[in-house]
Amino acid sequence: MNTITAAITAVGAYVPDFVLTNKALETMVDTNDEWITSRTGIKERRILKDQDKGTSFLAIKAAQDLLAKANIDPLEIDLLIMATATPDMPVASTGVYVATQLGATNAFAYDLQAACSSFLFGMSTAAAYIESGRYKKVLLIGADKMSSIVDYTDRSTCIIFGDGAGAVLFEPNYEGLGLQDEYLRSDGIGRDFLKIDAGGSLNPTSYDTVKENKHNIIQDGKTVFKYAVTNMADSSELLLKRNNLTNEDVDWLVPHQANKRIIDATANRMNLEDSKVLMNIEKYGNTTSATLPLVLSDFEHVFKKGDTIIFAAFGGGFTWGSIYLKWAYDKK
């Protein structure tokens, strides 16, 4: 029996129509386009303006895009993993709702939350289900409506985040393509540096927590930046060494789109030329769980079967890591 590897066989994406530019942010907080661009690489981000639509709307749209492009019946999906930091509700699983709305009624579904590393960790999880031999089609969706937890009077966070969703399909591969190796880590020291203070069991929602604006994301930018630069670069370098890969062997780096300076530092550690580093942060900002699949969607046309791709991410908690994957198809 041939060894089963888990390969990405289809990609889909969705971003809202509304564009929030740096120029628009200048009218909202004390900032300017030059300052934002030089420090983050972000020029604009997409915002889901509809108050009656949540993360599930973004996820469904991205999944529908994938299913339509790949001509797949949703009834064929065995499992749906919903990577998100902004579920529609605290208890009812967003992934379960998404699966039902898609018509993927033969699939079981659940949410996976590891902040900005959610999709990366979801790749590992989806691959393990495929490699077990029990499941043939695993749909992994990364989606976040970050505008729902951003304070648009806080210039340290409102300039960074945007809304969006991306999806990939994992299927068995018998050619040795797909996920090859991973290095995933976490450290609870990050709990105090990137968080939402209220709304959980530790500090439940109350009149006071709402009045004191404790339901929006806050971060210690300098600390998060320092840990992100170090850990994304370290994990990527370690993965290369462990698999006897050089910078020449790597075709593409797909990094979490949090900050261009973090991406540059990771690429420099790997000694990669700029043309191999894939970025769309200028268009979308940090869409948290959606950054990696949005990059895959935007650059799917450049990937060739057999290409070596390194994924890297860092998120609150802290969570981080890298994945080494061999691309499995040429786009038709």
Q: Render 254-297 in DSSP notation, one character per residue.
A: EE--S-HHHHHHHHHHTT--GGGB---HHHH-B-GGGHHHHHHH
The position carrying tokens 């210690």 is 220
Summarised one tens digit per residue, pLDDT across range 256-312 is: 999 999 999 999 999 999 999 999 999 999 999 999 999 999 999 999 999 999 999
So what's the pLDDT on residue 1?
52
| Catalytic residue (choose from 158, 173, 231, 256) | 256
Percent of the chain with pLDDT over 70: 100
176-213 pLDDT per residue, tens: 999 999 999 999 999 999 999 999 999 999 999 999 99
Q: Which two tokens stand for residue 269?
A: 């550690």
Q: Which is the catalytic residue, given 22, 116, 216, 259? A: 116
Q: What is the mean pLDDT of the chain?
A: 96
* Contacts of range 36-39, beta carbons closer than 8 Å, 24 or more positions apart: 36/159, 37/282, 39/259, 39/261
Q: How sure is the predictor about 331, in pLDDT bands with cuts at 50, 70 and 90?
A: confident
Which one-letter DSSP state was computed for residue 306?
T
Residue with tokens 């200048």: 26
Going along the chain from its start, the domains and CATH numbers come out as 5-178 (3.40.47.10), 179-327 (3.40.47.10)
Whether the pLDDT of residue 167 is over 70: the answer is yes
CB burial string 151-174: b at 16+ within 10 A, e below: eeeebebbbbbbbbbbbbbbbbbe
pLDDT at 243 over 60: yes
CA 307, 301, 127, 174 dihedral sign is negative
Confidence category of residue 11, pLDDT binned at 50, 70, 90: very high
Nearest to 236 by CA among 261, 265, 278: 265
- Say whether 256 is catalytic: yes
Q: What is the pLDDT of residue 6?
A: 98
Torsion, Cα 3 142 121 115, to 10 degrees, reads 180
| Nearest partner of 229 among 268, 181, 286, 173, judged by Cα | 268
pLDDT at res. 332: 79
95 pLDDT above the threshold of 60: yes
Concerning whether 301 is annotated as a catalytic residue, the answer is no
Region 211-234: mean pLDDT is: 94
SS3 state of residue 244: coil
The pLDDT of residue 211 is: 94
In whole angstroms, what is the distance from residue 3 CA to residue 148 CA? 43
CB neighbours of residue 270 within 10 Å: 22
pLDDT of residue 267: 95
C-alpha 293/C-alpha 141 separation (Å) is 8
Using pLDDT thresholds of 50, 70 and 90, give the confidence band for residue 16: very high
Instruction: Place 169 in a pLDDT band, splitting at 50, 70 and 90.
Output: very high
Decide if pLDDT at 55 tops 90: yes
118 pLDDT above the threshold of 60: yes
Digit-coded pLDDT (tens) for 23-51:
999 999 999 999 999 999 999 999 999 99
User: Across residues 227-252, what is the average pLDDT?
Assistant: 96
| Beta sheet of 5-14, edge-to-edge order | 5-14, 163-173, 138-145, 79-83, 108-112
Radius of gyration, alpha carbons of the chain: 19
